[in-house]
Amino acid sequence: MSWELDIKGLIQPFGALKFTVKQPHTLNYPIEKRQEVIGYRGFHLNSLSLCVGCGNCQDICMNEAIDMVEAVGVINSKNASGLVPRIDYGRCCWCGLCTDVCGPDSLRLESNCIYASADANSFLYMPKDC
């Protein structure tokens, strides 16, 4: 039985050392924040001065992620129902259909999408007024 020294196999693992001097591709979160991407589908925003409480957003949502709840704060005088959408982020798939059917253009998606909480109820989210 004869042995052959596999020089290439011995040297190859040391090739990984070059990564010790390269810039990382990851971010040092939360110290470093990801750059916002224009057009990214993040959290919902709802301009209460424009929302008319029609419920179109709720009707179109195939995931039943929207329920209409009583508005808090100053709302549009044309909002006859007095209701505004609340989003369940346990169900939402960020398809954006609700924003597409919003006639007065009050519902939008912002680019921010980072959120963490141990409280499951906080994922029932009232869109920020904008």
Residues of this chain that interact with ligand SF4 (CB under 6 A) are: 46, 51-57, 60-61, 63, 65-66, 85, 87, 92-98, 101-102, 104, 106-107
- In the complex, what is the shortest distance from the CB of residue 127 to ligand SF4, in angstroms, rounded to a whole number? 8
What would you measure as the largest C-alpha separation in the chain, in angstroms? 92
- In the complex, what is the shortest distance from the CB of residue 35 to ligand SF4, in angstroms, rounded to a whole number? 23
- In the complex, what is the shortest distance from the CB of residue 120 to ligand SF4, in angstroms, rounded to a whole number? 18
Nearest to 106 by CA among 52, 66, 51, 57: 51
Query: CB-wise, 27 or 72, nearer to ligand SF4?
Result: 72
Query: CB-wise, 36 or 100, nearer to ligand SF4?
Result: 100
Q: How far apart are CA 116 and CA 120, in angstroms?
A: 10
Query: CB-wise, 87 or 129, nearer to ligand SF4?
Result: 87
Nearest to 44 by CA among 95, 83, 82: 95
